[in-house]
Amino acid sequence: MLDPQVEHTIESKMVYQGRIVNLRVDTVRLPSGRLTTREIAEHSASVCMVPLDQDDNVLMVRQFRKPIEGDLLEIPAGGVEPGEDPEAAALRELQEEVGFTAGTLLLLAGFWVTPGWSTEYMYAYLATGLTPASLSADFDENISVERVPLAQVHEMIQEGKIKDAKSIAALLLTLNLKN
């Protein structure tokens, strides 16, 4: 008997393999017995960090995002390389994107980014005890760093100045921790 909640894969076909994402189409049997397809973006694990300085400012990044044809104010984030530990990836990304490393990383949460169509799982960290330490940025990133007082974050989210889901989630987790 089929599990009433499971979609059994009948066929899986890779339709695109890229640098960041692979795309596949799975034919699945629904619990009702009917067949349908699922388009799935295979993406490696990722990390995002709330870098909080000694004055309770969040080091955020502003960057242009082609899919939305606009820039976003976000917390630093990036991919976990094959064989890399998420904490190591978080420290590397902090250095690449904001020019700091953290003395302390606290795991805030882990979550599926867009489980309706992607395999990406993200680890969110609070990064404190910041000290300058930079690595070369990725060649295809054009990032500017902005310090945002943590006390203004909730208002900025409500006003639509921070619109990125990972940033909203991790910043609200940080605010909850601090209150």
pTM beyond 0.85: the answer is: yes
Over residues 43-95, the pLDDT tens digits come to 999 999 999 999 999 999 999 999 999 999 999 999 999 999 999 999 999 99
Q: State mean pLDDT over 170-178.
A: 95
- Catalytically annotated residue among 141, 146, 155, 159: 141
Where residue 179 falls among pLDDT bands split at 50, 70, 90?
Answer: confident
pLDDT value at residue 4: 64
Higher pLDDT, 142 or 124: 124
Closest CA to 157 of 176, 145, 172, 173: 172
Higher pLDDT, 141 or 178: 178
Is 141 marked active-site?
Answer: yes
Q: DSSP string of 69-132?
A: TEEEEE--EEEPPTT--HHHHHHHHHHHHTSEEEEEEEEEEEEES-TTTB--EEEEEEEEEEEE
Mean pLDDT of the chain: 94
